[in-house]
Amino acid sequence: MTAERQRSGAATTSLGVVAAAWLLTSIFYFYQYSMRSAPAVMVPELSTAFGLTAVGVASLVGLFYYAYAPFSLVAGVALDQLGPKKVVPLGAASVAIGALMFSTADPTIGSIGRFMQGAGGVFALIGAVYLVSTFMPASRAATLIGATQMFGMAGGSAGQLRDR
C-alpha cells in the first residue's frame, strides 16, 4: 500500500471505527499471548493428556514459535496487500481453530493446532501496529503501540495463572 493510499484511507476511515478495531486487535493479542504462555504451567497435565514426556510436550508447545517467526513476514505482506479487515480475522480464526485442535489431546492434531496458533497469533501484534501506524495520528503512535504491548504482557501473565 502506498503512502498516498494510506493517507487517503486514513482520511476516509472514522477514528472511532479505527479505535474499536485497534482495541479488538489488542484484545486478540492479549488472548493469543495467554494461549502462547499457558502451556508452561501445564506440563505435567499435558504430558498425561498427550502421552508424552516433558521433552515431548516442550517440542509440541514449541511448534508455536516455528510458525510465529516465518509468519511474521507473511503477516506484514498480507496486511500491506490486503489490509487488516481481511487479514486479522483470519489470524484470529486460525488461533481459535488451533486451540480447539490442541485440546483434542491427540499428539498429531495437537501439533497442527499449536502450529496454527503460532501462524495466526502473529497477526495480532502486527495488525494492531499496522492499524496504529496507518490510521491513527502519528503523535499517538508510541502510546498506542505501548498499550498494545501492555495487552500482550497482561495476556502472558494471565496465561500463567492456574486454577487450583
Complete DSSP assignment for 14-40: -HHHHHHHHHHHHHHHHHHHHHHHGGG
| Residue 160: per-residue pLDDT | 87
Q: C-alpha cell of 26?
A: 489488542
pLDDT at residue 13, rounded to an integer: 73
The superfamily in CATH containing domain 3-159 is MFS general substrate transporter like domains (1.20.1250.20)
Q: What is the pLDDT of residue 10?
A: 52
Domain ranges of the chain: 3-159
Q: Is pLDDT at 12 greater than 70 in this prediction?
A: no
Query: For position 104, what pLDDT does the model report?
Result: 95
| Integer Cα distance of 68 and 50 in angstroms | 22
- 91 pLDDT more than 60: yes
| Average pLDDT of the segment spanning 94-111 | 96
3-state SS class at 164: coil
* Percent of the chain at pLDDT exceeding 90: 85
Report pTM: 0.87
Nearest CA to 35 among 162, 160, 163, 164? Answer: 160
pLDDT band at 108 (very low <50, low <70, confident <90, very high): very high
DSSP letter assigned to residue 51: T
pLDDT of residue 5: 45
> Across all residues in the chain, what is the average pLDDT?
91
Q: Is the pLDDT of residue 163 over 70?
A: no
Per-residue pLDDT, averaged over 38-46, amounts to 91
